[in-house]
């Protein structure tokens, strides 16, 4: 029995890293997958094919989650194509790291817009159809940095901490309509982005984690499957840390 049979999931920012892992894991669990990407058309086409090879319906949409109108249009297009949106995973995010003294106003605004405002945009776009079907699961991707802060990432930390408050508020507002909203806070996840880091730095991070390893995109995806499926039907407004015990 697949946990997400016949559900349709919309994942933002899915052509690499955690987003890609989520899309593939969800397809393996029987979910149809609509996903967004910003510029990598080739990677999107490749992912679309991989997902369809797993026997589900899949389609990639070039869309900017940080743009309010684009998010509304996206939800309308996905509904037209798939019929329902049962699960929304707000995963799109960027970093523009710098010490506070050096962060430009533009770099602060851009990170807030892409990481936090996009969550508002898309959540707002899917709640009407979810309310109509009286069911839905919204999963927002925060970060261990949103829970504890990090030097050189004031903009990123603010955006990811904002997601926590937003999630709790949405959970309170929509619980009576059987729509659940939860947050995942990944720790050190090894993806294409971390491959560029110095091996000694990565080794140091692994050593500091109780489970002595970095996480995988699949580790995060499996937590998302749980929160998307009926197994978590009595869980809302929560933050699930997938961090190997980093914040314990």
Catalytic residues: 156
* Residue 97, Ramachandran bin (φ over 0: left; ψ between -120 and 50: alpha; else beta): beta
CA distance 89 to 215: 19
Task: Give one DSSP letter per residue of 153-200, joined into a string.
Answer: -HHHHHHHHHHHHHHHHHHHHHGGGTEEEEEEEE-SB-SHHHHTS-HH
Count helices and strands (H / E) in the chain.
10, 7
Both tokens assigned to 121 = 């945009």
Residue 198: how many other CB atoms lie within 10 Å: 8
């Amino acid at each position: 029995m697949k946990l997400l049979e016949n559900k349709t999931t919309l994942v933002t920012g899915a052509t690499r890293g955690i987003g890609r892992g989520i899309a593939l894991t969800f397809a393996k669990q029987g979910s149809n997958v609509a996903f967004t990407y910003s510029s990598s058309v080739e990677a999107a086409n490749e992912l679309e094919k991989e997902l369809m090879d797993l026997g589900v319906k899949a389609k990639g949409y070039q869309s900017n989650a940080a743009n309010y109108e684009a998010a509304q249009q996206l939800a309308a297009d996905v509904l037209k194509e798939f019929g329902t949106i049962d699960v929304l995973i707000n995963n799109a995010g960027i970093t523009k790291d710098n010490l506070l003294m050096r962060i430009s106003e533009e770099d602060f605004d851009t990170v807030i817009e892409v990481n936090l405002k996009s969550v508002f945009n898309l959540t707002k776009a899917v709640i009407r159809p979810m309310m109509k079907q009286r069911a839905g699961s919204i999963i927002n991707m925060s970060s261990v940095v949103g829970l504890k802060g990090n030097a050189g990432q004031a903009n990123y930390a603010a955006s990811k901490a904002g997601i926590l408050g937003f999630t709790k508020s949405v959970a309170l507002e929509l619980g009576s309509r059987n729509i659940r909203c939860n947050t995942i806070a990944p720790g050190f996840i090894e993806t294409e982005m971390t491959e560029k880091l110095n091996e000694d730095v990565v080794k140091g991070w692994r050593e500091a984690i109780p489970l002595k390893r970095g996480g995988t995109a699949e580790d995060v995806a499996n937590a998302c499957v749980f929160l998307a499926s009926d197994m978590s039907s009595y869980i809302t407004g929560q933050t699930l840390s997938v961090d190997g015990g980093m914040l314990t």
